[in-house]
Structure 1
Amino acid sequence: MSKSPSSLASDSPDGLNSILLLFICLIGVITFCTLLALLGSGMAKRTGRRKSRAEWFRGIALLSVCATIALYIWGALHVMFMESDTMREACAKAGGPEKAAQVDRYSASYLPLRFTCQIDKGGSYAAAVPGYVNPAMGIAFVLAIATGAVSVVARDQNRSTSPTVTRGR
């Protein structure tokens, strides 16, 4: 059953809960700012001495987590601000006017971030979220995990190789 363009323009995407997405973005912004403050304070209080390898990797891991969060928020904002008129335009821009005329509903996904135009004959295509967001977010996430693991290993190596100080009586 196909919908007329006037009724299509008033639809909202299936599965897109703007309040939930707004809440996710708010938590993301708070986490992003907290991690940047943590990174800044960690770098500022150690200005008098040379930073260890573990500290450098920890800083890179924190920056990578911040990049992952920032990319997610950027993509989520693209999905969140898809109003009924812009949904139609995004579908036309991504698939052309012929495909956009066949769209009967919309859907959204939070992970990976995606806004999908559903065609009435059983197909779909992605629109609205910039193509670089999900791959860049994945790379930043993998970098965060890898550098975080290396910082833990380097920290443990520093602890095991550093001489222990014992106090005599």
Structure 2
Amino acid sequence: MTEAPSPLASDAPDGLNSILLLFICLIGVITFCTLIALLGSGMAKRRGRRKTRAEWLGGIALLAVCATIALYIWGALHVMFMESDTMREACAKARGPEQAAQVDRYSARYLPLRFTCRIDEGGSYDAAVPGYVNPAMGIAFVLAIATGAVSVVARDQNRPTSPTVTRGR
């Protein structure tokens, strides 16, 4: 039974799907800029009064999302700008020229970001994406989820629990 190809992996002849990575990076840059603008407008709007704990946590969550996106784009750019010559060099840097000589194809994964050198004997190893990108991206993502959730809880705790009854004349 063969495994269905994952939409998060590429086995193109050169191991990359540059169009997909370019699209991902473009959407990431647009989202990053939008979130930074949203964060800036939120800070400017609340200038005259003291911010609540929920607002601070919401801002931290937005910053963590921005960090996650920026790290993903950084790693994706490392994978996207690989060319045939650079791919072999990246494989040689990761394991040495002897192993790089045995590489017969390349593949890329987009979540987590990974550039893999496949050896004709059946083995493989990762290269090109800096080692800190995926762990840092994971930490920033968890921080974003945690602070976002705590922000929502803190915001809900500040709301009155009983509805105000308004009487007409």
TM norm. shorter chain > 0.5:
yes
RMSD: 1.6
What is the rounded CA distance, in whole Å, between the counterparts of 2:26 and 2:116 in structure 1? 24
Question: Bigger CA drift: 100-109 or 152-161?
Answer: 152-161
What is the rounded CA distance, in whole Å, between the counterparts of 1:125 and 1:29 in structure 2? 29
What is the rounded CA distance, in whole Å, between the counterparts of 1:162 and 1:22 in structure 2? 51
**Partner residue of 1:100?**
100
Indicate whether 1:18 and 2:18 are aligned.
yes
Q: Tell me by how many angstroms 1:82 deviates.
A: 0.4
What is the rounded CA distance, in whole Å, between the counterparts of 1:38 and 1:153 in structure 2? 21
**Partner residue of 1:50?**
50
**Partner residue of 1:88?**
88
Q: Mark the CA change 1:140 to 1:106 in structure 2 (over 3 Å): closer, same or farther.
A: same
Amino acid at match of 2:135: P
**Secondary structure of the corresponding residue to residue 159 of structure 1:** coil
Q: How does 1:53-72 map to 2 (within 5 A)?
A: 53-72=53-72
Q: Mark the CA change 1:95 to 1:51 in structure 2 (over 3 Å): closer, same or farther.
A: same
Q: Mark the CA change 1:162 to 1:85 in structure 2 (over 3 Å): closer, same or farther.
A: farther
Amino acid at match of 1:111: L
Q: How does 1:1-169 map to 2 (within 5 A)?
A: 12-13=14-15, 16-160=16-160, 164=164, 166=166, 169=169
Q: Mark the CA change 1:47 to 1:167 in structure 2 (over 3 Å): closer, same or farther.
A: farther
Aligned length: 157
What is the rounded CA distance, in whole Å, between the counterparts of 1:49 and 1:63 in structure 2? 21
Q: Mark the CA change 1:162 to 1:34 in structure 2 (over 3 Å): closer, same or farther.
A: farther
Q: Tell me by how many angstroms 1:17 deviates.
A: 1.0
The structure with more helix, counted as a fraction of residues = 1
Q: Tell me by how many angstroms 1:161 deviates.
A: 5.9
Where structure 2 has 5 or more consecutive residues not aligned to the other structure, the ranges are 1-12
Q: Mark the CA change 1:79 to 1:153 in structure 2 (over 3 Å): closer, same or farther.
A: same
**Secondary structure of the corresponding residue to residue 107 of structure 1:** strand
Q: Tell me by how many angstroms 1:160 deviates.
A: 3.0
Q: Tell me by how many angstroms 1:162 deviates.
A: 9.2
Question: Bigger CA drift: 155-164 or 52-61?
Answer: 155-164
Where structure 1 has 5 or more consecutive residues not aligned to the other structure, the ranges are 1-10
